[in-house]
Structure 1
């Protein structure tokens, strides 16, 4: 019998599907085509591999008693680079062949825009840490690809620092804290206000991006001008500010469609929409997401499977462990740890 509750499953599925839907909406710039698939960008692809790494890290901990989750997530990113055909990575990169089911999803092997800071960090072959980040980029991928880490018992900032630095690391930690509160049954605005009131936990600029976004939302109706001011570029702090402003202006489950279209118009490369989608999905669950868009979402099945499997691994450990047998004999083939 599963230990997973309906609420836990709804939060995880909503967060991950909202993230992927926001990623796809952001790529449209707010003008959604009338038909055809809604495709992921490299940010959405990397978010999938973040979840793959988290699940594999937990499997490893269960069977070996010790694990460093950022190291396992790093290997998952290397698998992404290998199946993408990025120079310096092969299907057998240094004896670490891409394994598990995720590396076999065709859409994840297609180039969907660049992720230069992530690729450069992977090519340097040195994992960054919060104290010694890898490179100097403060780009939005540090935030968007690590949003699901808020569902897992570790620090999203550590995952962001693998490839990015500075305010981007702080923004990832802050967004993860909001998602963790949403998973703990806090309301959306309550979670945002709570994190904003905790000084000193994240970088100063990341903290500054949250407070102005909430203040702007309190001051009046959603404004495209205000959104453009808060999210002027493709930095992580811009994505965070734009995403938070959107969710604070459109906090209800009945306005998710309007919120995603609004965030996608920010002009920041679509990243604010990714953040807004993850936050709104985590707050309201997958049933609040527009069904007509979800039915066209290219990686909907992939993302939903990862969300379900992440929650299942955390609470049920289907691969077993040192003191209990597996309930799924194929789990470690899907997620080798």
Structure 2
């Protein structure tokens, strides 16, 4: 549940002379409808797979939103009208530099969720629909195209104040279409291929547990994932979570893409997989002060290695002849 602290809507209109701002109310009264729309926007944003994550840029050129948001947090909730008015000017200036920029209704929402404070910004356009009159006649009706928004971003203000590495997320889209929105947010994307690949690996493992896959299905799923990622790494192609989910889990790709795109995971869409970080998809490894072990996941599936979770032990079957003979000699010597 999103506890809405402040919300506002302004218009960014595109015309022959460029972009024009039309200011809405300083603050919206948080009615049932406002709550529903904000909740729906956030849920839709969360389910979109293609996102990028980062932090505020240190470059002065892109520091306006950072400055305005800092001023707002210092002033308190009463400064929301000033915050959104200034951010609209920044959005207007960013839009002027990009041909792909689009106008629309700009929704701002400051809300609390799971003890974190967020600012959500989304650009929504209108859509022509139809409804029935009392006389069962059909008439045109214009409504918000909530499902079709392409530009949205979320700033985790709590994580920002805690000096975390990634606290801004935004919809990436195709090509450079979202660049102006990234500049508007003042975001410097933090793409670390090895870290992102490691997080992808852990996410895929968790997904197999959530789906309660059998050992054989889990082995097939993770092996296939490794093959796709290695192919991308070889060709130096960026991963696209929607395409990845369609190939890896064709029976229900949306389920996987929504997990990959979860804002809480902060997984960048569009990194090139790092081969070194893909190893855990295929192998298990561990060590103590006196021994180390590494084996393929398939060994658990085919029974050549057995893990007893209660006893916390591994049993190896079919030892190599040389190793078995060496161990026997060691035992005899004792």
TM above 0.5: no
Q: Which entry has the higher C-alpha Rg, 1 or 2?
A: 2
Q: Which has the higher helix share?
A: 1
Q: Which has the higher contact order (CA 8 A, sep 6+)?
A: 1
The structure richer in strand per residue is: 2
